[in-house]
Amino acid sequence: MILPPATLGMLGGGQLGRFFVSAAHEMGYKVWVLDPDPHSPAGLIADRHLVAAYDDYGALDALAAGCAAVTTEFENVPADTLDYLGKFIPVHPAASAVAVCQNRIAEKTFLADHGLPHGPCAVIRGEDDIRSAPAALFPAVLKVARFGYDGKGQARVADAEEALAAFQHFKGEPCVLEKMLALDCEVSVVLARDETGAVRSFPAGDNRHRNGILDVTIAPAQLAASEAGGVATEAQRIAERIAERLGYVGTLGVEFFVCAGELFVNEMAPRPHNSGHHTLDACDVSQYEQQVRALCGLPLAAPRQHSAAVMVNLLGELWYADGKGHGAYREPDWSVLHAVPGLRLHLYGKHHARPGRKMGHFTVVGDDPGTVLERALGARAAIGIRDE
């Protein structure tokens, strides 16, 4: 075990890292953050912020010398960086697991090799791959293999001609062509796994997106009565199998499509997940504390959700007069949120808002799921989030 007051390292300085720093501080640890942004939210509250690139070996050597173990909050940290640090100190999750999750081609290959459910797809490395793709794959979504998230690097395509145009727009980057599925809903499971193989899963959440970015998470998931128990339990089982096959240590998020009651893995996130923010306010232990525990070899807590919860993301367009990213730049009127019973507001301390950027979130908690959802959607409208 790595015990307080040891120093832990965090690669990435975003909001997920900020919550990790807070959790580690509460448990008695110090945290160093490596992130190239001098204004990074996690770096602002860390004990030390190394402002450097993820492949800056001088900074990596300093991190290895000063920290007892290292983790990440950002799947696009180069796997080579994790592998290098792993030569000197414990690194969780391992480079091998992150390498699978950060590349859609590797991810789909992993799912296929291990018999895990996923939708029909094709690997696209050149235009001929699109021309030879089965017609049954269309309509589809073309996704770049690397660095695509929150709807970035994705294009809906009706046929091969549109796919070719999108592939050219992506400058020939390797892609995955995924058949568009008729969705009942989308759910996700957040879990933690330790070095002994012990796994603790949070209840599945029901996710709703807007413009390709997570908008609302309802936890536990509100599924149709015919699906509720089976789908949620099966999602946990599949997520736990993924963690076991990856040899994963840390907090992992797995997103699923639900189609006619059947589950398909959409994406895997080798870190805490946006849909797990509610664990801060609605559970006995948060996904971030579990990340600290897994990294340090502490026993994982058995997560219990004590309240119904609805989480709503707050994106950068709210900071503009028209609520869409245009007009005068101003702070939203947070008083309308603070007036809502059971609402907890979390702002990330990012220095500039821009449309689509995750600036904060709020979670509404309570005993009755219907009342919680009604209050959360009311608060969402009151702060200015508009459905398009």
154 and 303 in one domain? no
Is 112 contained in some domain?
A: no
Q: Domain check: are 60 and 164 in the same one? A: no
180 in a labelled binding site = yes
Q: Is 186 annotated as a binding residue?
A: yes
Q: Per the domain annotation, does 105 fall within a domain? A: no
Whether the per-residue pLDDT at 174 is higher than 60: the answer is yes
Q: Are residues 165 and 203 in the same domain?
A: no
| Number of domains within the chain | 3
Query: What tokens appear for 323 in the block?
Result: 């609520």
Tell me the C-alpha distance between 132 and 194, whole Å: 43
The pLDDT value recorded for residue 388 is 67
Residues 360 and 244 in one domain: yes
Regarding whether 327 and 218 lie in a shared domain, the answer is yes
Among 59-63, 89-93, 118-122, 258-262, whose mean pLDDT is lowest?
258-262
pLDDT digits (tens, 9 = 90+) for 317-336: 999 988 888 889 999 999 99
Q: Do 361 and 217 reside in the same domain of the chain?
A: yes
61 known member of a binding site: no
Q: Give bridge partners of residue 186 from the DSSP assignment.
A: 207, 257
Q: What is the mean pLDDT of residues 45-61?
A: 97
Residues 6+ apart with CB under 8 A from 161: none
Q: Does residue 80 share a domain with residue 43?
A: yes
Task: For residue 9, say whether it is annotated as part of any ligand binding site.
Answer: no
Q: Print the domain residue range for 175.
A: 120-179
Check whether residue 298 and residue 352 sit in a common domain: yes
- Whether residue 320 sits in one domain with residue 235: yes
We report the CATH number of the domain holding residue 125 as 3.30.1490.20
The CA–CA distances, whole Å, from 252 to 15, 98, 192, 276, 288 equal 16, 10, 6, 10, 11
- Is 324 annotated as ligand-binding? no
With a cut of 90, say whether residue 360 has pLDDT above it.
yes
So what's the pLDDT on residue 185?
Answer: 92
Question: Residue 225: its pLDDT value, please?
Answer: 53
Decide if pLDDT at 150 tops 80.
no
Express each pLDDT in 291-319 by its tens digit. 999 999 999 999 999 999 999 999 999 99
Interval 202-226: pLDDT, tens: 999 999 999 889 999 999 998 765 4
Q: How far apart are the first and last CA of the chain?
A: 50
**Rounded CA gap, 337 and 361, in Å?**
11
pLDDT in tens, 223-252: 765 455 689 999 999 999 999 999 999 999
Q: Is 152 annotated as a binding residue?
A: yes
pLDDT one-digit tens code per residue, 6-44: 999 999 999 999 999 999 999 999 999 999 999 999 999
Q: In 3D, which of 137, 183, 129 has the Cα closest to residue 159?
A: 137
Is 87 within any annotated ligand binding site?
no
pLDDT digits (tens, 9 = 90+) for 239-294: 999 999 999 999 999 999 999 889 999 999 999 999 999 999 999 999 999 999 99
Residue carrying structure tokens 């994406």: 267
322 in a known ligand binding site: no
Residue 39 annotated as part of some ligand binding site: no
151 annotated as belonging to a binding site for a ligand: yes
The closest alpha carbon to 49, from 33, 61, 37, belongs to: 33
Is 179 within any annotated ligand binding site? yes
Tokens of 256: 């699923």
pLDDT at 117: 96
With cut-offs at 50, 70 and 90, classify the pLDDT of residue 149.
Answer: low
Q: Output the domain CATH number for residue 323.
A: 3.30.470.20
Residue 106 lies inside a defined structural domain of this protein:
no
Per-residue pLDDT, averaged over 147-167, amounts to 86
Sheet holding 140-144, edge to edge: 121-124, 175-179, 140-144, 154-157
